[in-house]
Amino acid sequence: MVDTHCHLGLCEPDESELVTAARAAGVRRMLTVGIDEDSNAAAIESAEAHEEVLACVGRHPNGAGGFDDAAAARLQELAAHPRVAAVGETGLDFYRDRAPRSDQHRALRAQIAIARRVSKPLVIHVRDGAQTTDGEALAETFETLRAEATGVTVVLHCFSAPVERAGQAADWGWYCSFAGNLTYPSAEALRRSAREVPDDLLLVETDSPFLAPQPARGRPNQPANVVATATALAELRGVPYDELERTVETNAARVFGW
């Protein structure tokens, strides 16, 4: 199995222990994701230190305040690194509005352009207000991607949208990556979406240290736990775990080049 989205620098314990635990659980590849300049550099260091790890560099929407041309230039420089497999996570987050929406849009558009220039996939984060998973942030993100991301491989990280949006994503060839929240008792709507994603657009992640799957809920998440989410996803889709594992690993290799 593979973990297509984790934050090793935010996890506990030490990343070497995390990688060892993941390997023991059968996790062969991990994408560690930066969210700002410091964590982008740390993600690259992790990828250089561990064969199983590749990096993703970007500016998270919650930290998009003040994003400018200089920040974009620096990000493009990092994105060209050979151990960087993707750009992001970027997108729109209207849940807490920690950055002005204009800056979030600017950072999103810049990272779409960077992903195109370096020919690497774009990892998208979307979070709406507390009352909906299908509000302004999701609508505006989809609109921007449709208008500006033609020819860019798009990964919708921690997909949490209604089934109709999963259908749109499939129509446009965007990958949907499912995290531990898929396993929560309250997530039946998300499970409906997960059933509908075509095999060739399906990915699995932890988003660790966040969103631990139900068997580990209440404790910090880690890459080894992607197996629990993948097991639940296989059961949900009515396929053997080994088949889902092959599907996800093939898709991840196609997207991230590992």
For the stretch 152-201, pLDDT in tens is 999 999 999 999 999 999 999 999 999 999 999 999 999 999 999 999 99
pLDDT of residue 129: 75
16 within 8 A of 167, measured Cβ to Cβ: no
| Per-residue pLDDT tens over the stretch 227-253 | 999 999 999 999 999 999 999 999 999
3-class SS at 66?
A: coil
The residue among 153, 32, 49, 36 whose CA lies nearest residue 84 is 32
User: Which residues are CB-contacts of 218 (< 8 A; sequence separation ≥ 6)?
Assistant: 212
How much of the chain, in percent, has pLDDT values that exceed 90? 96
Number of domains comprising the chain = 1
End-to-end CA separation in angstroms for the chain: 13
Q: What number of helices (H) and strands (E) belong to the chain? A: 9, 8
Sheet with 175-178, strands from edge to edge, namely 2-6, 29-33, 53-57, 84-93, 122-127, 154-156, 175-178, 202-204
User: What single letter denotes the amino acid at residue 247?
Assistant: T
CATH no. for residue 121? 3.20.20.140
pLDDT of residue 97: 80
118 within 8 A of 76, measured Cβ to Cβ: yes
* Crossing angle for the helix pair 37-49 and 69-79, to the nearest 10 degrees: 0
For residue 45 the two structure tokens come to 């260091």
Burial classification of residue 240, based on how many CB atoms lie within 10 Å of its CB (0-12 exposed, 13-18 middle, 19 or more buried): exposed
Q: Which domain holds residue 102?
A: 2-256
What does the alpha-carbon distance between residue 212 and residue 12 come to, in Å, rounded to a whole number? 13
Question: Is the peptide bond preceding residue 89 cis, with omega within 30 degrees of 0?
Answer: yes
What does the alpha-carbon distance between residue 19 and residue 62 come to, in Å, rounded to a whole number? 27
pLDDT of residue 258: 92
Question: Mean pLDDT, consecutive 10-residue segments, the chain of 258 residues?
Answer: 98 95 98 98 98 98 97 98 98 92 98 98 92 86 98 98 97 98 97 98 98 96 98 98 98 97
pLDDT of residue 96: 83
